[in-house]
């Protein structure tokens, strides 16, 4: 899925099911009940991929939904970020959890350097800046 997709490509599961490929290489038409029963399908094969999210971002953009497209782009960056780190970052973004800007900037650095989640990192950095301005680093409980 290299070329930009448009509205006519939607839904991908109908227009190009063979190109919808899971994390371990299993294509959509191969995810069958028989394969599940044989044990050939795991939860890993049922996860969305960054490629699929970027394809959906293209489609959203083509439908003039820029902010939705950006969310899909950020989501694509998070696909391979471990759940624990996602939950820890979410927790840090809640009011009063981080005691200073530094904790958020550190999370942003890890997102950028370890997971190549550049948009998400920028987003967390923006939060750090705003939280400082609005005094959200105060202790809450």
Partner 1 sequence: MSTTPNRWKRFADWDERPLRLDKFAVEDAANGFAAFTSPADPKPGIGINASRVISLDGVLEHEFDMIDLFIARHHIDPDIAPEAMAIPSSTLARMLVDMHVPRQELVRLAHGLTPAKLAETVSQLNALEIAFAYQKMRARKIPGNQAHVTNAKDDPLQLAADAATAVGFGFDEIETTMRVSRNAWSNALACAVGGAVGRWGTLFQCSSEEAEELRIGMAGFTSYAETVSVYGTEKTFIDGDDTPWSKGFLAAAYASRGIKMRCTSGAGSELLMGFHESKSLLYLEARCLCLQRAMGVQGTQNGGIDGAPVTATVPGGVRELMAENLIAVWLDLECASGNDARTTESEIRLGAKIWPYLVGGSDLICSGFGSILKYDNSFNPSLFNGEEMEDYLVLQRDFEADGGLTPISESTALDLRARAIEALSAVQEELGLATPTADMKQSVVVASGSDDTRSFSPRETSVMSEKIKSQGITVVDVIKALAKRGFADEAENLLSVVRLRLSGDYLQTAALVRGGKVLSAINNPNDYLGPGSGYRLSPERREEIVNIRDVLDQKEVLRSEAMHEKEEAKRIRYARVKQADVSQDSKDVVIGISPGFGLKLFQTTAGHRLSDVLLELVTAISARGLTPRIVRFNHTADTSFLGLSAAGLSGSGVGIGIQAKGTAIIHQRGRLPHNNLELFSNAPITKLVHYRGMGANAAAYALGEMPEPIIVPQHGEAMGSRYHARTAMIYAIETALTSESAVPEEIAIEFLGRRA
Nearest partner of 70 among 81, 58, 86, judged by Cα: 58
Structure tokens at 131: 């939280």
Distance of closest approach, residue 4 Cβ to partner 1, in angstroms: 15
Contacts of 56 by beta carbon, 8 Å cutoff, 6+ apart: 12, 72
Q: Tokens for 132, please give them.
A: 């400082």
126 binds partner 1 (CB under 8 A): yes
Question: Does residue 4 belong to the site contacting partner 1 (CB under 8 A)?
Answer: no
Smallest gap from Cβ 25 to partner 1, in A, equals: 12
* Binding of residue 18 to partner 1 (CB under 8 A): no
Chain residues 26-55 in contact with partner 1, contact rule CB under 8 A: 28, 31-33, 36-37, 41-43, 46-49, 52-53, 55
43/126 Cα distance (integer angstroms) = 34
Q: How far is the CB of 66 from partner 1 (least distance, A)?
A: 8
Q: Does 66 help bind partner 1 (rule: CB under 8 A)? A: yes
Reading the block at residue 66, the tokens are 């820029």
Locate tokens 């394969």: which residue?
Answer: 35
Answer yes or no whether residue 99 interacts with partner 1 by CB under 8 A. no
**Separation in Å, CA 22 to CA 10, 15, 88:** 18, 17, 26
End-to-end CA distance of the chain: 48
Interacting residues with partner 1 (CB under 8 A): 7, 10-14, 17, 20, 22, 28, 31-33, 36-37, 41-43, 46-49, 52-53, 55-56, 59-60, 63-72, 74-79, 81, 83, 86-87, 89-90, 93-95, 120, 123-124, 126-127, 130-131, 134, 136, 140
């Amino acid at each position: 899925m290299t070329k930009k997709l448009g509205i006519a490509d939607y839904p991908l599961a109908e227009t190009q099911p063979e190109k919808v490929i899971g994390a371990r290489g299993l294509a959509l038409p191969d995810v069958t009940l028989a394969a599940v029963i044989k044990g050939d399908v795991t939860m890993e094969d049922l996860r969305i991929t960054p490629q699929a999210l970027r394809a959906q971002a293209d489609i959203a953009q083509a439908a003039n939904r820029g902010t939705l497209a950006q969310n899909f782009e950020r989501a694509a960056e998070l696909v391979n970020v471990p759940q624990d780190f996602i939950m820890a970052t979410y927790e840090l973004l809640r009011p009063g959890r981080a005691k200073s800007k530094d904790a958020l900037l550190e999370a942003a650095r890890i997102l950028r350097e370890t997971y190549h989640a550049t948009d998400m990192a920028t987003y967390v950095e923006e939060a750090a800046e705003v939280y400082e301005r609005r005094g959200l680093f105060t202790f809450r409980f």
